[in-house]
């Protein structure tokens, strides 16, 4: 669907329940037509909570006082086998930006999962050099998730201080990932202090420009042990400096289920064939948050397979850890939620239609003429 910046901004501004029902229904119909009714289940494994970065909202930032861990090779493979037994088509290996996870180790791990399981392999390991990304692809990784978090460059620099002055930008890394043949995922946070509705509208436009295969959207939830988390203890959101006069600032409570679902719906309309998860962060805000995301255009859920002894240490935002989700009965509740809205569980890898079309054109370029 063709949406202009002004169209997107109008949808973000509206609070009319009837209009929003129309938006969510349009997105849900596009989702049904493009990717079907089956929900893709991705098994999330948080392999390390070490991080070299000083992001101003994340509980993994290098200076927070918490017990650090790295999962062993054997433990990660056990999680991969659990994903197979549970019927998932994908395993997602996620970590902080851990300099101790060297490329050779990760390549060996990726190759072992590829050899021992039929799973698609998604990586979410932060900013990595191009040669390492290329090595991960050669070892068998299929997808890479790297959220650009906000299209507002000044705001990004404030919340994500660069580790080195000459570090490549996230848009540059996303371009590398596309060139290397990854299925490329990115996304943003909704409700960052200082963010405007105009910023969010530009984020949606950027999804289309990047031709993303996967789009991750979640509410901004600062950890209490971080600079922004400490400010949020007194006021939900503290803006950075002056706000643009022609775009309403997101105050007082933009990091909500409603605003996140608007963004999910608009992302579906701008990138009809993308895989879009309904995130754990939505479920953290509201018991029905994940279901609401699925009804607004999302088609992916990522149950957490991280062993409980590590799960509670991957403390990126408050109230993230949900021990019941690790247990079989917790996943059973999730499946019942999915079935309650008339959706089914997908089988297989769940590659996005956009990456399948792109690969088909590379194999048969004459079909694109």
Angle at the Cα of 281 (from 126 to 73), degrees rounded to 5?
A: 45
SS3 121: strand
Q: Which long-range contacts (CB under 8 A, 24 or more apart) does 162-165 make?
A: 163/52, 163/53, 163/97, 163/127
- If 0-12 CB within 10 Å is exposed, 13-18 middle and 19+ buried, where does residue 147 land? middle
Residue 300 structural domain: 5-368
pTM: 0.92
Report pLDDT for 247. 58
CATH of the domain at 177: 3.20.20.70
Q: Number of folded domains in the chain?
A: 1
Ordered DSSP codes for 257-301: HHHHHHHHHHHHHHSTT-B-B--HHHHHH-TTHHHHHHHTT--EE
The residue-averaged pLDDT of 293-298 equals: 98
The residue-averaged pLDDT of 213-236 equals: 82
Residue 246 or 136, more confident: 136
The residue-averaged pLDDT of 183-201 equals: 94
What number of other Cβ atoms are within 10 A of residue 71's Cβ?
22
Report pLDDT for 367. 55
d(CA 109, CA 164): 28
Report whether pLDDT(325) > 90: no
pLDDT tens, 29-88? 999 999 999 999 999 999 999 999 999 999 999 999 889 999 999 999 999 999 999 999
Report pLDDT for 332. 77
Least confident of 164-168, 242-246, 260-264, 298-302: 242-246
d(CA 47, CA 73): 9
Q: What is the mean pLDDT of the chain?
A: 90
Spatial neighbors of 208 by CB under 8 A, at least 6 apart, are 270, 271
Spatial neighbors of 343 by CB under 8 A, at least 6 apart, are 37, 38, 39, 294
Report pLDDT for 242. 46
Report whether pLDDT(92) > 80: yes
Report pLDDT for 131. 98
For residue 140, is the peptide bond before it cis, meaning its omega torsion is within 30 degrees of 0? no
Q: How confident is the model at residue 254 (pLDDT cuts 50, 70, 90)?
A: confident
Report pLDDT for 245. 43
Ordered DSSP codes for 296-360: TT--EE--B-S-HHHHTT--SSTT---HHHHSHHHHHHHHHHHHHTT-EE--S----HHHHHHHH
pLDDT tens, 160-169? 999 888 999 9
Least confident of 92-101, 122-131, 279-288, 305-314: 279-288
């Amino acid at each position: 669907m063709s949406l202009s910046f002004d169209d997107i901004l109008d949808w973000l501004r509206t609070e009319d329940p009837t209009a929003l029902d129309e938006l969510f229904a349009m997105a849900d119909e596009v989702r049904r037509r493009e990717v079907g009714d089956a929900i893709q289940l991705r098994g999330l494994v948080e392999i390390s909570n070490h991080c070299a970065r000083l992001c101003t909202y994340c509980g993994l930032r290098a200076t927070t006082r918490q017990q650090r861990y790295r999962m062993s090779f054997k433990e990660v493979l056990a999680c991969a086998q659990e994903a197979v037994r549970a019927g998932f088509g994908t395993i997602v290996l996620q970590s902080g930006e851990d300099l101790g996870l060297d490329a050779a180790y990760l390549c060996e791990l990726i190759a072992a999962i590829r050899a021992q399981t039929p799973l698609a392999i998604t990586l979410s390991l932060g900013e990595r050099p191009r040669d390492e990304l290329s090595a991960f692809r050669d070892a068998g990784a299929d997808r890479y998730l790297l959220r650009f978090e906000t299209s507002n460059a000044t705001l990004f620099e404030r919340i994500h201080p660069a580790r080195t002055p000459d570090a490549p930008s996230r848009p540059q890394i996303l371009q590398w990932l596309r060139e290397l043949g990854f299925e490329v995922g990115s996304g943003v946070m909704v409700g960052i202090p200082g963010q405007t509705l105009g910023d969010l509208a530009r984020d949606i436009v950027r999804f289309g420009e990047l031709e993303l295969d996967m789009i991750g959207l979640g509410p901004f939830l600062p950890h209490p042990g971080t600079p922004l988390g400490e400010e949020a203890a007194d006021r939900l959101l503290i803006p950075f400096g002056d706000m643009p006069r022609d775009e309403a600032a997101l105050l007082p409570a933009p990091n909500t289920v409603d605003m996140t679902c608007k963004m999910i719906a608009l992302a579906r309309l701008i990138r009809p064939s993308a895989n879009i998860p309904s995130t754990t962060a939505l479920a953290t805000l509201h018991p029905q948050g994940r279901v609401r995301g699925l009804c607004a255009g999302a088609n992916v859920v990522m149950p957490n397979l991280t062993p409980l002894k590590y799960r509670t240490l991957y403390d990126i935002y408050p109230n993230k850890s949900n021990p019941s989700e690790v247990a079989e009965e917790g996943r059973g509740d999730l499946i019942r939620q999915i079935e309650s809205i008339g959706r089914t569980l997908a089988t297989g890898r769940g590659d996005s239609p956009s990456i399948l079309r792109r690969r088909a054109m590379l194999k048969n370029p004459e079909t694109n003429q």
